[in-house]
Structure 1
């Protein structure tokens, strides 16, 4: 009986230890880091010589005499291709259904950013500010941690560089393909500024980037991967494209919000070398006059057209996405990333207006700050929000 009691106690201690809260060491002078892997291709027969776009990030690695990493101050492992939507909260931490991590920190249980100037930085990891050596390594698609891999699998370097990360600054590094023909890969490090701007809670903000590889647009579509989720965008857009925004409510595609039918925003030029922050454009949270100031059903539709094309008289409007040749694409931020019943061949992403239970309102609509990044025929939406009032039950 005594032996059985000891086994029960040991088991209880084991359970308690496994559930113990992880204590993170305080970082006195942090920078904030969120990393995306934009290598959105699949290795197949036609590109069998490329490495699998599955990575490990090593910050301040220790290497042996042959240059192979043996440890690192910070490891971001299992870094998979990013999801098409990066929500305004850490949606991956604690999930265990897969070893794949769609961003860093993502699933990593690390010390995250605070609320800075009202913005929630819990999707950014804290790391010590200053100069850091950063390596990105190719690794096999498996659940084996990087440093437990065989030595021969820990030698494939994608990038080895030094970054200066300043105190209290917000950084978003992007691993991406620089040249579609040569298959050169690299990194673009962007220092964000949204938390430094005087932004209104009554306006929704968005900016745009085309970080596609050089030569992607000009390459024959038969040599590009199919991505039906991107609709007419799947084969890319022209290196220069005009962006027009329309706002709609509910399912009324035929009735745009007055004043917001094909409103010109900007001319977008492909650039995967500059880390300059693009200008933000805004529209009212309650642009629809029928909204009650608490909840709106408004959603956004962005039309991307080659220079010279008129959105009101677009010859590609009724196309099936197969012959637009980069001249036309549509991104609809509708619902929760689902396709509206009336939308065909459209790249669909979640609404930029967040509708959530807040206070006594269920739901309430809130404005956000958004970024749309186009990379080789895929559009990625990142949304950042302010903190909302706690629901009252």
Structure 2
């Protein structure tokens, strides 16, 4: 079992300019909500958009303004909020990382009090936030290592978003900063009140839901203006606003070993959305879909085919070597740690396996099902995996 860290360092009215070495005052939140924040502004700055600001942010919750209307403090600060990682693992992997101050999510590296195990689900990647009504400000900041409160005033006055949100006690929230319109560069906030911890989910099933949170006009814009992440992946050019998702399961290290009963099975329809906070339906996939497995460990992995409405895997006109599918077809493969590809895999967007294989009880490894969310944002697929409480190893 991963040793989860308890993190919290909020003092109401904390001044942004406090030195990094100042004493941390730990406190208790009697009526918390649980919050996780992702920066989905995944564009890079080049000649085509050199006038855009770097998508590098500071989050201020309940800011205190000085006489000139410039933030001088805040109840909660999430600084150095960088573009999110493609994979948000089922444990707080960024805590203790000292290679960079940049934070791929909030709380991420922040030393804050986090959520508990709630109904069997580990919330250690969500920060505890006092419930109630809060003002959220997201500020552009320079890409350097100077804390926001120590920046000169003119660099603390560039507002990306300013809004008020009410958080309900003991509810679990995921907040997304995203681009709503690719042409106008309009940005916005999407706050989703999660439901996974309230659902009667089976331990023998893995669950996944899908969102397309791409900006309006992204998929049909000029490809030269799109992000350069993972060049060559079919998904990179975007996917049409209305699409369907099929899934296939494989074992081994190549595409030559599909599970016959789980090849191109329809999963769900997805529709581009950057405003609705509704939670997409979770769909189940058996943990031990391979009948040859021993019920303890399985090497099965997942591959998702995303196709425009009207297309079908059996009549797909595009092969996996296509140079451009014009928003009609993309592949997402969840294999091993997401850093290598199965044999014969060519232009899939690579993410880690959704099944967690760890030392648990007397078994090393043992396979566990998880709850997963895949979010497609402007040609990039992001995976968030949530784990349940596992039995610790027996040594």
Q: Aligned to 1:35, what secondary structure does the other structure show?
A: strand
Asked whether the equivalents of residues 294 and 365 of structure 1 are also in contact (C-alpha less than 8 Å), the reply is yes
Asked whether the equivalents of residues 230 and 348 of structure 1 are also in contact (C-alpha less than 8 Å), the reply is no
Equivalence map 1:56-75=2 (5 Å):
56-75=58-77
Distance in 2, matches of 1:385 and 1:21, equals: 33
Aligned to 1:28: 30
Aligned to 2:126: 124
Equivalence map 1:154-303=2 (5 Å):
154-228=156-230, 231-303=233-305
Asked whether the equivalents of residues 241 and 269 of structure 1 are also in contact (C-alpha less than 8 Å), the reply is yes
Q: Aligned to 1:242, what secondary structure does the other structure show?
A: strand
Q: TM-score, normalised by structure 2?
A: 0.92
Q: CA deviation at 1:120?
A: 0.3
* 1:154-203 deviations in Å (ceiling 9; x for gaps): 11000111010000000000000000000011110000000000100000
Aligned to 2:329: 328
Q: CA deviation at 1:305?
A: 0.9
Q: CA deviation at 1:309?
A: 1.7
Change (3 A) 1:22 1:120: farther
Q: Aligned to 2:224, what secondary structure does the other structure show?
A: helix
Distance in 2, matches of 1:308 and 1:186, equals: 31
**Rg larger in structure:** 1
Asked whether the equivalents of residues 247 and 261 of structure 1 are also in contact (C-alpha less than 8 Å), the reply is yes
Change (3 A) 1:129 1:318: closer
Q: Aligned to 1:225, what secondary structure does the other structure show?
A: coil
* 1:326-367 deviations in Å (ceiling 9; x for gaps): 111000001111222321011010001000011110000000
Q: TM-score, normalised by structure 1?
A: 0.93
Aligned to 1:80: 82
Asked whether the equivalents of residues 32 and 169 of structure 1 are also in contact (C-alpha less than 8 Å), the reply is yes
Q: Which has the higher helix share?
A: 1
Asked whether the equivalents of residues 176 and 187 of structure 1 are also in contact (C-alpha less than 8 Å), the reply is yes
Which runs of no fewer than 5 residues in structure 2 stay unpaired? Answer: 1-19
Q: Aligned to 2:261, what secondary structure does the other structure show?
A: coil
Change (3 A) 1:30 1:229: farther
Aligned to 2:11: none
Q: Aligned to 2:59, what secondary structure does the other structure show?
A: strand
Equivalence map 1:97-136=2 (5 Å):
97-136=99-138
Change (3 A) 1:140 1:20: closer
Q: CA deviation at 1:22?
A: 5.7
* 1:35-75 deviations in Å (ceiling 9; x for gaps): 00000011111101111000000001001233210000000
Q: CA deviation at 1:230?
A: 7.0
Change (3 A) 1:383 1:129: same
Runs of 4+ in 1 over 3 A off after TM superposition: 18-23
Q: CA deviation at 1:324?
A: 1.0
Q: CA deviation at 1:256?
A: 1.7
Asked whether the equivalents of residues 41 and 53 of structure 1 are also in contact (C-alpha less than 8 Å), the reply is yes
Change (3 A) 1:19 1:288: farther
Distance in 2, matches of 1:19 and 1:71, equals: 17
Distance in 2, matches of 1:317 and 1:369, equals: 30
Q: CA deviation at 1:228?
A: 2.2
Determine if the alignment matches structure 1 residue 375 to structure 2 residue 380. Answer: no
- Cα RMSD (Å): 1.6
Aligned to 2:144: 142
Aligned length: 375
Aligned to 1:12: none
Asked whether the equivalents of residues 230 and 379 of structure 1 are also in contact (C-alpha less than 8 Å), the reply is no
Change (3 A) 1:32 1:161: same
Q: CA deviation at 1:317?
A: 1.6
Which runs of no fewer than 5 residues in structure 1 stay unpaired? Answer: 1-17
